[in-house]
Structure 1
Amino acid sequence: MALCTPTLLVYPLHRTLASISPSGFFLSCARFLGLRTWGRSINVLRSPVGSRVSSKRWNNGIIYFSLSDDLDSGNGTSVDGYVKKRNIVEHILLLRAKENLSDVEEKDMLDYLYTSQYQMSGIIAISLGRIECPNLDNFTHAVYMRFQRKEDLAKFYSNSYYSRILKEHVTPYCYGSISVDYESEVEDDIIPIFRRGEEFNYGVECMLLISISKTAPEHAVEDALASLWNLTLDFGSDIVQATQGCNLNVADSEYTHAAVMRFPSFEAFKIFTESPIYKDMWKLKFHAITGKALLLHFLVDPVGTELM
């Protein structure tokens, strides 16, 4: 319980993390409290099974990672041993539910949001749940969706079915919301793209919204975010998947960047966030360039079950 502190913060942020590479495609975030709640996820990703990142190189602003183990063809690697990447678009919806929201109403709201993937094309991954830790912005529920292209996201926003879900099954139960969208990269393979895999049925979905100061020097931003990205690589299997990017949603521009990170367990989260290396990096690299950050998390479990 001691980890549960307000998640809308000004510096120092001791348990917030963000990672953006110079190319603007990678960001990691993590925050977790050991409470159990209702949450769901289609699936999640790890780097190709049996592989470990052993080195990296830069080329025209793009980072490539070499793998230490042999991989079968079709695991998303190119002939020169470097991981191929594919662009994807991430969508975050944060909701403020009314205080008198009943369990039945909550289930109705989340069920309709979750099953929207079956009624509309374009959504390739989804997770959602009740936010565990109180925050100063009073967000109570979070929804994460992934799309293949920006065009798919645009069609999603204009879809009449989704508009009806919001009108009939979300707005009556909530008094406010924000959306953040960003483009990122994942390995070009089914598992990372669609966030599939048995070992990722359980976990913690972490969402970080961060506001970089307008006066922050570009080189300082790149240095800080690249340092954090390198740190996430060092933790290997303790991080399932992480993406980040600049906020594309001009309607909700309070936060300049956003990230989603999946941890396989609370223990993995704790190892990462309590690392002295992480704390020192955050203090030295991010303190001077960040205005505020909103860090949220919820538990997920296999589709069709609930955590009691």
Structure 2
Amino acid sequence: MADMTTEAPASGERVPTKTMKVVDHAVLFKMSDSLDEFQEKEMLDGLHTLQYAIKDIICSSVGRLTKKTPEGFTHGLFTRFKSVKALQDYLVHEQKVDVADKLIIPFFSEPNGIAMTDFECEVENDLEAVFRRGDRFESGLEHFTFFKFKDSTSPNVVDQTLNFMKTVGVKFGDEVVQTTIGVNIEPRTTAYFSHGVVTRFKSESACDEFKKFVASEAMWTQVRDVTENFIEGSFSVSPIGNKLM
């Protein structure tokens, strides 16, 4: 079963809407410090233009993280697909493989400099929400959260935790543009990450305020107690594409 999205209207109240299933693909890269500005631009441009060359891509964003993570991740990529089959086709698509082999993998800071989650979710059945277009999505901050539930976590606690993570954005207000969360379906990484979350914020400051808000919620202690391999990363999205920040 797909996991739900939350989208915050101006009132901050949850409004029932019709939804459609999509598959979100979130990736973090560890790039070497030796990557120069030209090589970085070539890499980001190569990833960004895949959405125009591969028809199964619904939308995409890519950029340098606002700050390097403690684990050493430096860049992020978000891509949305209409189905799991579309994602699988993308992963072996000749042009995608060519970009990875020539512009990304040679510049990893370590042999396996990548972390990802792929998950099925539901978004509002609306062109802006599905394709992430319009004023709400023109600019902002893309934020990824990857984690794994500890093996000892009961199904009931898993459900409680996921429900909190799905709904806390709506409670926070309209600075959260869209949140999707789901079970990782990528077999190469499920042992390390069981779930992924992608949140689009209106701005970097909105993300900072959201983190403070979440930390003040009683459920946050439970989230950290029952999860491991917890990784977060953010990158800015500009109106004219993917400007380096």
Output the TM-score relative to the length of structure 1: 0.72
- Which residue of structure 2 lines up, in the alignment, with residue 9 of structure 1? none
1:202 matched to 2:159? no
1:133 matched to 2:70? no
1:114 matched to 2:92? no
- The SS at the match of 1:275 is helix
Cα-to-partner distance string for 1:31-68 (whole Å, 9 max, x where unaligned): xxxxxxxxxxxxxxx66xx76464xxxxxxxxxx5x3x
In the alignment, the residues of structure 1 paired with residue 184 and residue 217 of structure 2 have an alpha-carbon distance, to the nearest angstrom, of 25
Q: Which moved more, 1:272-281 or 1:98-107?
A: 272-281
1:212 matched to 2:145? no
Q: Which moved more, 1:134-143 or 1:267-276?
A: 267-276
- The SS at the match of 2:101 is helix
Structure 2 gap ranges (5+): none
Cα deviation, residue 119, structure 1: 1.1
8 Å contact from structure 1 (residues 27, 260) kept in 2: no
**What value does the CA root-mean-square deviation take over the aligned residues?**
2.2
- Which residue of structure 2 lines up, in the alignment, with residue 244 of structure 1? 181
- The SS at the match of 1:288 is helix
Cα deviation, residue 277, structure 1: 7.0
- Which residue of structure 2 lines up, in the alignment, with residue 14 of structure 1? none
In the alignment, the residues of structure 2 paired with residue 83 and residue 27 of structure 1 have an alpha-carbon distance, to the nearest angstrom, of 11
Structure 1 gap ranges (5+): 1-22, 29-45, 55-64, 68-81
- Letter of the structure 2 residue corresponding to residue 259 of structure 1: V
1:179 matched to 2:113? no
Pairing partner for 1:87 from 21, 25, 35:
21
- Which residue of structure 2 lines up, in the alignment, with residue 164 of structure 1? 98
Output the TM-score relative to the length of structure 2: 0.89
Structure with larger Rg: 1
- Letter of the structure 2 residue corresponding to residue 243 of structure 1: T
In the alignment, the residues of structure 2 paired with residue 141 and residue 51 of structure 1 have an alpha-carbon distance, to the nearest angstrom, of 31
- The SS at the match of 2:234 is strand
8 Å contact from structure 1 (residues 124, 148) kept in 2: yes
8 Å contact from structure 2 (residues 5, 178) kept in 1: no
- Letter of the structure 2 residue corresponding to residue 257 of structure 1: H
1:191 matched to 2:128? yes
Percent of pairs identical after alignment?
27
Cα-to-partner distance string for 1:90-109 (whole Å, 9 max, x where unaligned): 11122111121100000001
- Letter of the structure 2 residue corresponding to residue 300 of structure 1: V
Cα-to-partner distance string for 1:220-251 (whole Å, 9 max, x where unaligned): 11112213333222223121000011111111
Pairing partner for 1:255 from 185, 189, 193:
193
- The SS at the match of 1:137 is coil
- Which residue of structure 2 lines up, in the alignment, with residue 292 of structure 1? 229
Pairing partner for 1:229 from 160, 166, 176:
166
- Letter of the structure 1 residue corresponding to residue 218 of structure 2: D
1:25 matched to 2:28? no
In the alignment, the residues of structure 2 paired with residue 95 and residue 115 of structure 1 have an alpha-carbon distance, to the nearest angstrom, of 18
1:150 matched to 2:87? no
Cα 1:292–1:179 shift into 2, 3 Å: closer
Cα 1:149–1:267 shift into 2, 3 Å: same
8 Å contact from structure 1 (residues 231, 278) kept in 2: no
- The SS at the match of 2:225 is coil
Cα 1:277–1:135 shift into 2, 3 Å: closer
In the alignment, the residues of structure 2 paired with residue 107 and residue 135 of structure 1 have an alpha-carbon distance, to the nearest angstrom, of 20
